Structure 1
Amino acid sequence: MTTTRRAFGVLAAGTALAALAPAAPATAAPHHGLIAADDFRHGLGQWFVELEQGGTVTAARGTLEVDVPAGATVWFRRRLEGPYVLEYTATPVSAGGADDRVSDLNNFWNATDVRSPDDLFATSRTGALADYDYLKTYYVGFGANYNTTTRLRRYVGEPGVRPLIYDYTEPLLVANRPNRVRIVSDGRTVRWWNNGRLVFDYTDPGPYTSGHFAFRTTWSHFRISDFRVWRSNRQRR
């Protein structure tokens, strides 16, 4: 799929969605009923880690710390069913460490693997990005490519095919600044917020409404906290 990169608030070529306001005010998504959470004080029992070239992933004292020299995907083991609202806070660490490259606050969500659609973890993956081409999933790369791009993709489970929905040059990551992320999965409605700003608003005619969530990054150092998933009280569309 050929697209042209545009500034934030302008759609990638080939899309037919309305442009987003560049700085939408924070509006709380209606939700109730906590369905999943982790305070990151009791280890990695709720998570499954895939590392391309090693590194460290730990959960202690209220923080999931991901410090890796290459690709890393940290899956929430529980499969999520929409509609839901998922929230967390992630801070890119820049303090002189070997992996303190400010880049790639990324997510998969509603992910299934076409090679084992009933069990994501029945198929081995190495942590290299190409391994995830077999997923059907939404994917955000926020501040990817050395903190130069912010993109939404909709993977279709085919090697080498990662359709691009939006392609922006901002907003991007700021070193050591917390990012409060909110993901809304509500039928055809797919939204991704950062610090109260609506970054992606996509209406999917063939939505992925259930599957697994993951933190994804490459050659970076993040501290993540306050992971929560709420049942949305909005009706599916």
Structure 2
Amino acid sequence: MRLQLLLMQLLLLVFPGMEAGTSCRLADWVVEDSSGKVEITCIGDTMDIVSPDGLSLWYKERLTGDYEITYRVQVVIENGRYDRLSDLNCFWGAGDPRHPDDFFARSTWRNGEFKNYNTLSLYYVGYGGNENGTTRFREYHGEYYGADDAKIKPILKEYTDAAHLLKANHWYEVKIRVKNGCTTYTMDGEELFSLPVADGRGNGYFALRLWQNHVRFTDFKVVNIDNLK
């Protein structure tokens, strides 16, 4: 992985008006990258991520109780080699049944390979997957190879209409909540997915999940629901 810290001149050239001096805090994240060639560039408080293959960018902190995740993210289409309008995905509430007390014990083994995430329990949204043909919500049940995908990670809801697929260079505002026994996923103010969850089932880790694309990712925040109005 190459981490490029750009000079002020490049910051102003790429993002006119952006203030340098804030950090995208790469130390807060664990990278699982199947290509071995992901490029993450810090541009002020924004990560510019070019992912040649599968990438899971895990927030290091385990989230518990009632919480809200928010962030802004854009799929970049500017004629770059990996500029591809597909797969703006995420995981949350993730845990490893084999290593309940050490989620990152098998981080090197997972290595960004999508099939290896079948071994985790988690929630997943694949926004604009399948070459921007589907937006899907799945629950993973932490099972292993040899089981049917419909049992390991059933599709709970799916959109295929244009209004719920990706738009090039659009800044999306994502909000994920676990609150009062329910988890929800909201995009640009519209709640797309909702699911009742058992007590403690929403506890776990969050990841931005990408595949063969180029995104910009910023304004990531996690707050305890009790602190929200």
Taking structure 1 as the reference length, the TM-score comes to: 0.78
- 3-state SS of 2:209 partner: strand
Instruction: Give 1 or 2: higher helix fraction.
Output: 2
Identity of aligned residues (%): 36
Residue in 1 that maps onto 2:9: none
Tell me, in whole angstroms, the C-alpha distance in 1 between the residues paired with 2:199 and 2:160: 27
Structure 1: 4+ residue segments shifted above 6 A: none
Q: Is the 8 A contact 1:40 1:64 kept in 2?
A: no
Residue in 2 that maps onto 1:214: 207
Count, aligned residues: 196
Tell me, in whole angstroms, the C-alpha distance in 2 between the residues paired with 1:174 and 1:209: 29
Question: Kindly tell me: are residues 40 and 76 of structure 1, through their superposed partners in 2, closer, same or farther at Cα, counting changes over 3 Å?
Answer: farther
Shift of 1:187: 4.1
- 3-state SS of 2:204 partner: strand
Residue in 1 that maps onto 2:6: none
Q: Is the 8 A contact 1:82 1:187 kept in 2?
A: no
Q: Deviations over 1:94-145 (max 9, x none)?
A: 0000110011111110101122111111113120100101110001101111
The one-letter code of the counterpart of 2:87 is: D
Residue in 2 that maps onto 1:142: 127
Residue in 1 that maps onto 2:101: 118
- What pairs with 1:155-234 in structure 2 (closer than 5 Å)? 155-159=140-144, 160=149, 161-170=152-161, 171-205=164-198, 208-233=201-226
Residue in 2 that maps onto 1:44: 26
Residue 89 of structure 1, aligned match among 69, 72, 76: 72
Shift of 1:60: 3.8
Residue in 2 that maps onto 1:131: 116
- 3-state SS of 1:131 partner: helix
Shift of 1:162: 1.1
Q: Is the 8 A contact 1:181 1:195 kept in 2?
A: yes
Shift of 1:233: 2.7
Q: Is the 8 A contact 2:67 2:225 kept in 1?
A: yes
Residue in 2 that maps onto 1:10: none
Tell me, in whole angstroms, the C-alpha distance in 2 between the residues paired with 1:147 and 1:207: 33
Tell me, in whole angstroms, the C-alpha distance in 1 between the residues paired with 2:24 and 2:122: 28
The one-letter code of the counterpart of 1:169 is: T
Shift of 1:151: 0.6
Question: Kindly tell me: are residues 147 and 196 of structure 1, through their superposed partners in 2, closer, same or farther at Cα, counting changes over 3 Å?
Answer: same
Gaps of 5+ in 2: 1-20
- What pairs with 1:24-103 in structure 2 (closer than 5 Å)? 41-53=23-35, 54-103=37-86
Q: Is the 8 A contact 2:70 2:220 kept in 1?
A: yes
The one-letter code of the counterpart of 2:50 is: D
The one-letter code of the counterpart of 1:94 is: I
Tell me, in whole angstroms, the C-alpha distance in 2 between the residues paired with 1:140 and 1:206: 21
- Provide the aligned C-alpha RMSD in A: 1.8
Question: Kindly tell me: are residues 51 and 61 of structure 1, through their superposed partners in 2, closer, same or farther at Cα, counting changes over 3 Å?
Answer: same
